[in-house]
Structures are given as structure tokens and as C-alpha cells.
């Protein structure tokens, strides 16, 4: 897809895989909107790319809608990459054999799975309203699962469950959004710098 004059939205774009993705999209000619927490270096990173920073929590529908609107204002939204995620380790049982606080599991699933779903919903609504390209497509959404979705380790039940959920929802969402010319796929990286 030719991204010249288009916009791209990258969640978790202030660091790591997200920032590397944002740089690659900017190099391809897209106006990049970095979505990350207000406490992140997102504003500085966006300035490096001559893009836009949209401070948002991916689990907040209003904040994500505002970020999508900012991306749409910069050009037709054609690419969304969901890199926002957290991975604090926790076993099912702590050192004393007591169950780990359920809030820990819920937070990881909320950010990694529900946050990804929220961004997909908000962004796909905007992409579906754009004019199709000459090839008939409108855009692509790339989600980030993890090798842990398939081969989780001790201390990763919440992370593995959340990333397994991202993997599992990809095909039904791709089937649904195909009618709008929106491709949906998920990557499952392992450990990296």
C-alpha cells in the first residue's frame, strides 16, 4: 500500500517495537500519529518523525477516538499498528502459596486484549469511511500478539492469555472487515532488543 499522504496510527509508539514501526511508516511517507500514555516520551518521538502525539490510554474509548480523529485529520487513515502492551510477570500462586491478586491478571488482559480491541473498533470505523485506493482497499490493521500466546512460560499466564486472545480475535475480525477493504493481521514476535 502506498502510504504517501496517508496517516498511520501506532499505539505504544513511543518506544520499542512501536517506535521502530512508527519510524518505518514515516520513512514510507505516512504522517504518523503516536499513541501512548501522557507520561511517555511520545511527544518527543513524534517530533523526531514530524508526526503527531496523541496521549491516550488504549483502554479508554474517548481517548482512542480522539487519537483516531487526529490521525484522520492528517490524511486518510490507512495503517494502524497495535503495539501497546504490558508484561509484568506474576505466577498464579505467590511464594507463600496464596493466589496472586486478580487485579494483576485483569489489568494485563485489559491493556493487551481489550485495549487492542478498542483501537480496532475506533480505527476501523474511521478507515471504513475513507475512499478506497485505486486497488480497492482502504487500509490495514496489524496487531501484536506474542510467541507467549503459543508457548508461555512460568509467570506469564495473564500475558499469554491476553496475547492468545489477540491472536484468536484476528481471523473473525479480518473476515468482518474484509467487506470494507480493511485487512487485519497479527504478528507474534519473540524476544527482541
So which residues are the catalytic ones?
Answer: 159
Q: How many CB atoms lie within 10 A of CB 86?
A: 14
Q: What is the DSSP letter of 41?
A: S
Judge contact between 125 and 113, C-beta under 8 A: no
Name the 3-class secondary structure at 128. helix
Q: In sequence order, what are the beta bridge partners of 36?
A: 55
Q: Strand pairing partners for 32?
A: 8
Rounded to the nearest 5°, which phi and psi values hold at 11?
-85, 150
- DSSP secondary-structure letter at 191? S
Cα radius of gyration (the chain) = 17
Amino acid at each position: 500500500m502506498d502510504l504517501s499522504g496517508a496517516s498511520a496510527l501506532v499505539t505504544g509508539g513511543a518506544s520499542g517495537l512501536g517506535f521502530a514501526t512508527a519510524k518505518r511508516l514515516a520513512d514510507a511517507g505516512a504522517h504518523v500519529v503516536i499513541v501512548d500514555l501522557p507520561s511517555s516520551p511520545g511527544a518527543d518521538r513524534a517530533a523526531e518523525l514530524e508526526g503527531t502525539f496523541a496521549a491516550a490510554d488504549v483502554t479508554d474509548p474517548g481517548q482512542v477516538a480522539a487519537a483516531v480523529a487526529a490521525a484522520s485529520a492528517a490524511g486518510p487513515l490507512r495503517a494502524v499498528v497495535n503495539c501497546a502492551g504490558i508484561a509484568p510477570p506474576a505466577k498464579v500462586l505467590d511464594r507463600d502459596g496464596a493466589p496472586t491478586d486478580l487485579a494483576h491478571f485483569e489489568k494485563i488482559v485489559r491493556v493487551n486484549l481489550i485495549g487492542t480491541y478498542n483501537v480496532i473498533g475506533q480505527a476501523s470505523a474511521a478507515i471504513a469511511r475513507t475512499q478506497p485506493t485505486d486497488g480497492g482497499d482502504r487500509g490495514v490493521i496489524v496487531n501484536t500478539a506474542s510467541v507467549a500466546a503459543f508457548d508461555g512460560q512460568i509467570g506469564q499466564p495473564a500475558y499469554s492469555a491476553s496475547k492468545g486472545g489477540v491472536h484468536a480475535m484476528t481471523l473473525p475480525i479480518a473476515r468482518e472487515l474484509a467487506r470494507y477493504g480493511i485487512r487485519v493481521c497479527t504478528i507474534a514476535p519473540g524476544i527482541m532488543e
